[in-house]
Each structure stands twice: as structure tokens, then as C-alpha cells.
Amino acid sequence: MPTVREHLNKPVISSTNGEKLGKIKDLYLDPKLTRVVAVYLGRKGVVTRKKQMIEQDKVQTCGKDAWLVVRGDVVVDSGQIVGSRNLVPSREVRGRKILSEGGTEIATVGDVILDGECNVKGFTLANYPASGPLTERKAIALGAFTSLGSKTSPMTTTLAKAESMEIGVPVETGTSTGIGTSTGTAT
């Protein structure tokens, strides 16, 4: 599965006229870190420097070489996206500490793992101080987390779940994924 970093700097192209609208600078996630909500193309303007974004629902294809959007007029100022102040840039997730529920440092987030529809499936690991199953796997499924932290607080996981839950592998329907979602697939 691709990571956010693999999508950075890919061109965003209008499928109606082939116009290149910009390059992906970052992907913005919903507050629960479950899916990509917007594509950040950078800032525009000399004085105000407004954030230029595209809502994810305007994206037709998250391709290997480029992303296609429905038309050329989908680039908007971030203030036009409902709830944009609560969105989380993926760059703010990278580097977050991951702790066990007992407070032991497991690793930091290296990157965000996405599926083909830009749903968050888990996180790659970086800077892991101890060896074990997670250092071999180098990733933790989203459903293994009990808290996703914030800019200033770490993420927490149940170590047994983190070591056993596969990213993207179906789980029993109705089973909690650990953060209040139940989807039938480990997210």
C-alpha cells in the first residue's frame, strides 16, 4: 500500500482539459486520521498567501504518476473547505511518538499508509528503540490505536493488538478497531 510521501510532488491534472493544476505538497486528513479529506497544493498570492486545496471528493483517480480531478476549477482557498481548521496535515502526524498503553515508547510515526481510495490503513514506524515483532513489520494498523494523539501528545496502542493486527486484513464485522470505528476491515 502506498504512503503519503509516495504521493508528494505528483502532478494534479484536470481530466476535462488536461490542465496541470499544481503538485501535491501535502495531504490533509480528517481529525480522526481515517481518510484523506483534501489535497494541499501550496500557497498562492503575494500578500495574503492563501492555502490552495482540492477537496478529496473532487479527485477521480489517485494514480501512480498523477492525480486526476473532475475539472480545472476545483482548486479553492482552504477556508472554503468545511471544517478545514480541524484538518490534520500529514506532515504533523509524521514524527509523533507512539507509546504502549503502559507508557513504553514503541517508535515514532514514519509515514501514513493509504489504500487506493485514500483511506488511512496504518502508519509506518521510524526510530524504534527496541527490537521485536513491530520492528520487523515496520508498521502498525490504524485499528490497533487507542488514541491518535495530537501535535503535542503521543499516540497510544495496545501492544498485543499492534503486533497481531495486519494492515488491510478483514476482521470480524462488528469488532471495534480501537478508536470508535467498526468497518469490517482493519483500518
Q: What is the pLDDT along the chain (187 residues), one digit of tens a residue?
A: 899 999 999 999 999 999 999 999 999 999 999 999 999 998 876 666 678 899 999 999 888 899 999 888 898 888 888 888 899 999 999 999 999 999 989 999 999 999 988 999 999 999 887 777 887 889 999 999 999 999 899 999 998 999 989 886 544 333 333 343 333 344 4
3-class SS of residue 26: strand
Query: CB atoms < 10 A from the CB of 23, how many?
Result: 15
Residue type, 23: K
Domains of the chain and any CATH numbers? 4-89 (2.30.30.240), 94-164 (2.30.30.240)
Angstrom distance (rounded) from CA 51 to CA 42: 6
Global pTM?
A: 0.84
8 Å CB contact between 88 and 31:
yes
> What cell numbers appear for 21 in the block?
493544476
